[in-house]
Amino acid sequence: MIAFAQYRPLTSTGIGGDCFALLQKKGENKITAYNGSGRAPMAAKAEWYLERKINSVPLTSAHAVSIPGAVDAWDTILRDHGKFGLDRLLQPAIDAAEQGYVVAPRIAFDWKNQFDKLKNGTNTERYLLPGGKPAVAGDVIRQPELGKTLRAIAKKGRDAFYTGEIAQDMVDTLRGIGGLHTLEDFAAHTTETTVPIGTDYKGYDAWQCPPNGPGITMLVMLNILSRFDLKKYAPVSVERFHIEAEAARIAYMMREQYIGDPQQADVNVARILAKNFAEEHVGKIRMDSVLELPNVAPPMNPSTIYCTVVDKDRNVCSFINSIAHSFGSAIVSDKTGVLLQNRAGGFRIQPGHPNCIAPGKRPLHTIIPGMVTRDGEAVMPYGVMGGHYQPMGQTSFLTNHFDYGLDLQESIDLCRLFPYQGKVQVERSVPAALWWAVVTLTTTGYGDVVPITPLGRLVAAMVMISGLGVFGLWTGILATGFAAETRRDNFLKTWDSVSKVPFFAALGPAAIADITNMLRTMDLPPRTMIIRKGQQGDCMYFIAAGQVEVDLPGGKKVPLGEGSFFGEMALLGNATRNANITTTGVTRLLVLDLVDFHLLMARHPGLAQTIDAEAKRRALENK
């Protein structure tokens, strides 16, 4: 995992960032929590910023860089639990940095989106914009300076990073652009080893790292939701969404009001997790209205990498690593090639607030590794990548699994919504009927409905409590199931003269050519059609000429009309996994998964408006 955390290059993680972890050793009912978050420089006083009219931390400034905590945390975790040291485990990352790694399409997408940020960063044009342009899929990127830095850490351990030449280079780089950092700030950094916080839900116990991590947010959500019988409502329904959204708004309000670094702020975890704290709010939730709550506005919404491992001995690890925003602060140390995080951008400059910046203080974080136990033994490590969505995402995942009985992959695949900064973010995979119901509900208090690309990414593993056998993806893992974000992998595409489909006709030749070329890469001849049993219905868009009918288990038939945008497929949810899809007179069928669809929308802005109009039109027809 450590090699992966550095090797998954640049956009989300690296040695310039932070990490958190939950670990349970074989045969022990104890979970250990590791807080590998960094601190503000000792000179970082709120008064210093206010005197200079700085009311919030600029995300691409030296002031956004807290001391990176990941390297020390890795070293601490390996000292406590590892069979190998950094000398061995960093070798794949060293090889990738020195010999080069191939840029994947997803990484290229981020690189292109962050081009302006990198062009205006510190040393980023030299290190991260080869030839003055963002890397594209298939490019080979080499970072020899970073490779040399990793070699020093592998040879001399964490001290090579926090003292000596590497630390001096980071300090010089930061102070050269106005930072307050010193060598003493780096040398003083330590990882906190502690016990997790948790709550019970549906016969299980859910665990999180304590503050300054925000895991307490999702525990409050679970405490609130435990008072509701969610199974009264469909898993994809406005009632279920409304209850979870209200629970989220309450929990996120609590986070913004009460949570900070407990080493420097009064954070009463026991009171917040007490059942009567949840009860105070449960009675206020109404199904026909929205609570009047302050509009909390978290200061940042960054990017992350999560991974989980259950080894052959049944040691369980839930691990998350991040440099905050994509490409962090866009500051690379001058000689050593370290891309530095902008986690201190999560501070407030507001004296008296528990998350106000202060000397040696850790910011309110966003990354939360999760773990579920039963009778003290780990049964599921899991996590979400997606900034402030993580508590909401973890909670929705657990309720999908424990309340609705969905398996791990189904729990991940289900469409997502998120109340955020006075608006409701809604994935475009949400069915049109639910979309319109949410729009209607927003008139009573939610605010605008904002269509967005996928919310977060999830990973989970289900661990056997007893017995033998491996039913996961990785040989040697004692697990009954493993699931990850695979919304791209299970879909088939066919192509035939897309320009004749009325739905796309108005988009113009550029969009049509883009779609056609994409589908041609599948190497399928015209008029070919592939329909298979078990096709996932969530997060999918159908464009068809002719008639398509879905035969659901139990004899129910659902017709899907000609030339349609079938957001309604999500209404069928995971039932389509065991459905037969039959056709009558179909000459063209186009099936796009969510990733493909949003790539198209990014290239062709008119597509999003067309989808919105079609969804609203169909919702009105359905009424």
- Measured CA to CA, the distance from residue 545 to residue 503 in angstroms comes to 10
Identify the H or E element spanning 30. none
- Residue 249's contacts (CB-CB under 8 Å, 6 or more residues apart) are 291, 293, 419
User: Which one, of 363, 371, 416, 366, lies nearest residue 391 by Cα?
Assistant: 366
Q: Does residue 201 sit in helix, strand or coil?
A: strand
- Rg over CA atoms, the chain: 25
Please, are residues 289 and 252 in contact by the beta-carbon 8 Å criterion?
Answer: no
Give me the residues paired with residue 384 across strands.
Answer: 458
Q: Are 261 and 308 in contact (CB under 8 A)?
A: no
Q: Which helix (H) or strand (E) holds 92?
A: helix 91-99
> Distance (Å, rounded) from C-alpha 73 to C-alpha 71?
5
Q: What share of the chain is helix, strand, coil (3-state, %, to 5)?
A: 40, 20, 40
Q: Around Cβ 451, how many Cβ atoms within 10 Å? A: 16
Pair of tokens at residue 565? 């945008």
Q: What's the CA gap between 15 and 336, in Å, rounded? A: 11
Sequence-ordered strand ranges (E) for 313-448: 316-322, 331-332, 339-340, 370-374, 377-385, 417-420, 423-427
Compute the distance between CA of residue 326 and CA of residue 311 in angstroms, rounded to an integer.
Answer: 30
Specify whether 308 is catalytic: no
Helix or strand or coil: residue 182? coil
Widest distance between CA atoms in the chain: 74
- Count Cα neighbours of 567 within 13 Å in the Cβ-side half-sphere: 25
**Alpha-carbon distances, residue 180 vs 43, 66, 97, 177, 603 (angstroms):** 6, 10, 29, 9, 41
Among residues 304, 480, 494, 576, which one is catalytic? 304
> Helix or strand or coil: residue 312?
coil
Smallest CA-to-CA distance from 57 within 345, 361, 341, 301 is with: 345
Torsion of CA 305, 311, 314, 318, to 10 degrees: -10
CA distance 480 to 1: 21
SS3 291: coil
> How far apart, in whole angstroms, are the C-alpha atoms of residue 486 and residue 483?
8
- Give the number of other Cβ atoms within 10 Å of residue 473's Cβ: 12
Helix (H), strand (E) counts: the chain: 24, 21
Q: Which residues are catalytic?
A: 304
